[in-house]
Amino acid sequence: MPRPKPPALTPVSADELELEFYAALQHGDIDRLMAVWSDDDEITCVHPGGPRLVGMGAIRTAFEAMFSHGPIAAEPHRVRRLDSHSSAVHSVLERVRVKGSGGEQFAWVVATNVFLRSSQGWRLVAHHASPGTGNEAQEVGEAASTLH
């Protein structure tokens, strides 16, 4: 069965593509979300506590299951970037709003997003997210830098 083509998307930077990724999560829009991904067979995604998902079909199925419970209120915070002409690696603290029995709460997720620039423009090739703690809001490290 041929996989559906995502809608055309032409972000001019990895930063713009990353914003589109989080907007798609916040709107629960599977087509918009899948449009940020490369169509390469080896794309990967790891959700907190989950297995490694490889390929467009596996990634789409996992996000469809997540969206069946509603949009994902994840916001990128404190993005650290290693950018070059054709690739970018972003370390992101995601602040995720969750509704529980005690009302609305926030959780931190530590994520890495990897982008490549190809003939399609910038595309996401890997998203790896791990559970964070309240301590994630406080970084340990040196001043930010960007490779050009």
More confident residue, 73 or 3: 73
Paired with 98 in beta bridges are 105
Q: Dihedral, CA atoms, 23, 117, 110, 74, nearest 10 degrees? A: 0
- Region 64-73: what's the mean pLDDT? 94
More confident residue, 26 or 104: 26
Q: What is the DSSP string of 27-70?
A: HT-HHHHHTTB---TT-EEE-TT-PEEESHHHHHHHHHHHHTT-
| Sign of the dihedral defined by the CA atoms of residues 122, 128, 131, 137, in that order | negative
Gap between the Cα atoms of 93 and 96, Å rounded = 10
Write the pLDDT tens digit of every residue in 6-48: 445 666 899 999 999 999 999 999 999 999 999 999 999 999 9
Structural domains of the chain, with CATH: 14-134 (3.10.450.50)
Give the DSSP H/E element, type plus range, for residue 24.
Answer: helix 14-27
